[in-house]
Every structure is written in C-alpha cells, then in structure tokens.
Chains A and B, each alone.
Chain A
Amino acid sequence: MAELLKGQTGEWELVIGLEVHAQIVAKAKLFSGASTEFGAEPNQQVSLVDAGMPGMLPVLNDEAVRQAVRTGLALNAKINLHSIFARKNFFYPDMPQGYQISQYELPVVGEGEIEIDLPDDAVKNVRVERLHIEQDAGKSIHDQHPAKSMIDLNRSGVALMEIVSHPDMRSAEEAAAYVTKLRAILRYVGSCDGNMQEGSMRCDANVSVRRPGDELGTRCEIKNLNSIRFLRQAIDFEAARQIDVIEEGGTITQETRLYDSDKGETRSMRSKEDAHDYRYFPDPDLLPLDLDQAYVDALKAELPELPDAKKASLRRRTRPVAL
C-alpha cells in the first residue's frame, strides 16, 4: 500500500496513469521516406507527405510495425493481429494534415503488464492498457519572434509508440519507477533509445486525488514531461494543488496542464481550452494492419533476454552460491 497524502481535512490517495510517447528506432518516418535523425536544419527532413501537401498519401514503414510488436511482446501484452489506423482530427500549426494518424479502437497491442521495482526489493505490477503506433507532430518555436511562432516539420511524421498504463500508480515514486522500468525494456528491445532530453521519450501524467476507497476523482493531464525528475516534481505539485482546491471547497475541472520546470508548478494550457472532440475515424488512405501469427511468433523467438528475465535467471544462477 502506497503512502497517503495528508491534507488539512484528512488523508488523500493519489492516483496516476501514464501515457508514454516513445520514438520508434527507425531510419525513416512512419509514413514517408524522410530521415528521423535528430538536429537537422529546419524543414530539411520533411517529405511532401510530412508537409501535408495536397494529394499526398501515407505508406506505412514496416519497421515501425515490427518494433511496436516486439515491444508489445516484451510487455507480455496481447498482440492484435488486426488493427486499424484512425485519424485524430484537430488543428495545430505544427500538425500539417489537420489530423494525426494514430490508432484508436483497435490498437496493434492490447493489455500487458510491467513489474516495477520499488525500494527494499519490493515489486509491483502496473497494467498496460494498450500500445499503439502514431505520428509525431512538428515543432513550434515561440521565442524567436515577438508576434510569431516558427514551425519546423522535421519531427512531423516520426513514428511513435504511445504506451498507456492503467491508473495503477499511487505515488510519484511509483510513476518514476514505471518510467525507469519501461525505458529499460525499450532499450533492451531496441525499439526506442529512451533519450528524454532529445524528446525521443516523453511522458503525459494523468493525476487525480481521492479519499481512500472512493471512486476515481477528476483527473488533470500534465503534458510533455521530458525527464523523470520533472515527472516526480509535476506529480507532487499537481497532487498538492488538487488537494488544496478541493479542501478549499473547489472542484477539479478536467483539463490539460503544462509543467513549468522553472517555476516548479503546473498551469492550465490555454491552447487546449477547447473541448476536445477528435472525431476519430478509420483512415481511408490506409488499409487495416493485418499481421499473421507466424510473423509475431518469429519476432518473439528473436527477442533478446529482458531485464526481469535476466534478473530472474541471475537469481536462479546465484542462489546456490548464496545458500
């Protein structure tokens, strides 16, 4: 049982679910042949597809599928042999198509599980709800001009895995342990380099508080946490903020928040104020992703030994000596 937080009016339980965006290790983008290399001049690694030019069409990079399936297998997750790419419709200047190609109702990977390591050799299982493949957006730079934002599409269309956990974590420490473990697994598998500074792994935290035993409270989503330290700080700040709001008689509104690491606080994102209605529907430019079991089995057979298996086998091997 994780520790409870003490407020003015009693104890509170913190509930955290995490959405991790992990850039898939691939030379080319998810739906185009442009490079994914980090650090190029603006708009140099952009194909006409990534720029959302009229009449351009996506063609799926097979490597992204392979890496997503391998990652799913490493998470002991169900691989869905039939999955669908859907369009998530919203406007943002660094999202050239006016929609993000993602997976919605039928993701390529379903339920899985991650065993996280806690202090004193304790472990806890955190359930993974799903893993799906999607496109990254470009980058908006806001500090170069007083009245304008600058758009660089080099990241536009880079392949990501979004790995969504159940709200199974109860403290910032558990959330940190989850991300640490997930990153280790991704690195073992080789599907993501886990480099949070360069943005190849980012984390959104869904945070809510409740009285122990109560129903889940209203959550806020803190976007784009790019280090484990910030993840912990943001969760702790947000939990304290929510408890204060409720204890002062207020209510939490479901919203998207940004963590300001300079000020050490979260704040509401004005650009996301619109009620979201993403109007997901199957992308008619892409066919359903149908895999066969033999393909999945072959990937499973080639998977490297994973951290937990290694640890377990190390334990097995070292036990006689310890005795």
Chain B
Amino acid sequence: MPLNRDNVSAIAHLARLKVPEEDLDSLAGELNNILGWVEQLDEVDTDGVAPMTSVVATEYARRADNVDDGGIAEDVLANAPDRMDGFFAVPKVVE
C-alpha cells in the first residue's frame, strides 16, 4: 500500500525530522518510487536463507574489564551547543 502524506509525517516524526507540510506529498511520491523499485526483491527465493547480519567471519572482540578511559569531561563537553556547570543543557524535558 503506497505511503500517503500522513504516513510520511508519522515516519518523519519517528525520525525527528521536521518536514514542511508542503513537502509531504512530493516526499510521499519519492518514497513510493523507491519502495516500488525495491519491491523487486520479492522475486528472490530466500526460503531457508539466514539473513546476513555480519560481514566479518571472526570471533567477537572483547575488552578486559579495565578502566582506561574517561576523565576527559572537557573533551566531552567542548563541542556542546549549551553547557552549564559540567552538564549538557537542553530544553526542559517533562516526564
């Protein structure tokens, strides 16, 4: 079922992207084109095929339980658009 402007608006909200009202219809058209094009994958028989979840055939990397990082608050905060008393500051969140 093709996406309509309300679907696009809902997806944009999920992705926290502000999309101007007037762009919703054209975006719906573009997304529908792309989704229509990728639907050709339905032709491929994938019964019994395991999804490819990793490209590298090696064992998982582990780190030992050592404290060897942190203590760099200035580096962490240096690029902050708004900071206060060692915290990042954001518009008030209502819980």
CB atoms of A and B under 8 A apart anywhere in the complex? yes
Chain A residues close to B by CB (< 8 Å): 26-28, 32-35, 41-51, 59-65, 84, 91, 93, 140-142, 144-153, 258, 269-271, 274, 277, 279, 282, 284, 286-290
CB distance from A292 to the nearest CB of B (A): 10
At the interface, is chain B mostly helix, strand, loop or mixed?
A: loop
A35 touches B85 (CB 8 A): no
CB distance from B55 to the nearest CB of A (A): 8
Whether A62 touches B63, Cβ cut-off 8 Å, given contacts A34-B69, A46-B70, A153-B76, is yes
Given A42-B86, A145-B92, A289-B60, 19 additional A-B pairs, CB 8 A: A27-B65, A33-B63, A41-B73, A49-B69, A60-B63, A62-B62, A63-B65, A65-B62, A93-B93, A148-B82, A148-B84, A149-B90, A150-B89, A152-B87, A282-B53, A287-B56, A287-B60, A288-B54, A290-B60
At the interface, is chain A mostly helix, strand, loop or mixed?
A: loop
In order of increasing CB-CB distance, the 9 nearest A-B pairs are: A34-B70, A33-B69, A63-B65, A150-B87, A47-B69, A33-B68, A151-B88, A62-B62, A42-B86
Find B59's partner among A33, A49, A153, A290 (CB 8 Å cutoff): A290
CB distance from B20 to the nearest CB of A (A): 20
Report chain B residues within 8 Å CB of A35. 67, 70
**Whole-angstrom distance between the alpha carbons of A84 and B66 in the complex?**
23
Report chain B residues within 8 Å CB of A286. 60
**Whole-angstrom distance between the alpha carbons of A153 and B91 in the complex?**
17
CB distance from B47 to the nearest CB of A (A): 19
CB distance from B13 to the nearest CB of A (A): 8
Does B34 sit within 8 A of A, measured CB to CB?
no
A62 touches B64 (CB 8 A): yes
CB distance from B6 to the nearest CB of A (A): 14
CB closest chain-A residue, reference B70: A34
CB distance from A199 to the nearest CB of B (A): 16
B93 touches A150 (CB 8 A): no
What are 20 A-to-B residue pairs whose CB atoms are below 8 Å?
A33-B63, A42-B86, A43-B73, A43-B86, A44-B70, A44-B71, A48-B75, A61-B65, A145-B89, A148-B89, A148-B91, A150-B85, A150-B89, A151-B88, A151-B90, A271-B93, A271-B95, A282-B53, A282-B54, A287-B61
B16 touches A43 (CB 8 A): no
Report chain A residues within 8 Å CB of B72. 46-48
Report chain B residues within 8 Å CB of A49. 69
**Whole-angstrom distance between the alpha carbons of A33 and B65 in the complex?**
7
Whether A61 touches B63, Cβ cut-off 8 Å, given contacts A45-B70, A288-B53, is yes
Does B58 sit within 8 A of A, measured CB to CB?
yes
With a 10 A CB-CB cut-off, give which of B71, B72, B76, B92 has the most chain A CB atoms: B76
Does B14 sit within 8 A of A, measured CB to CB?
yes
A59 touches B61 (CB 8 A): yes
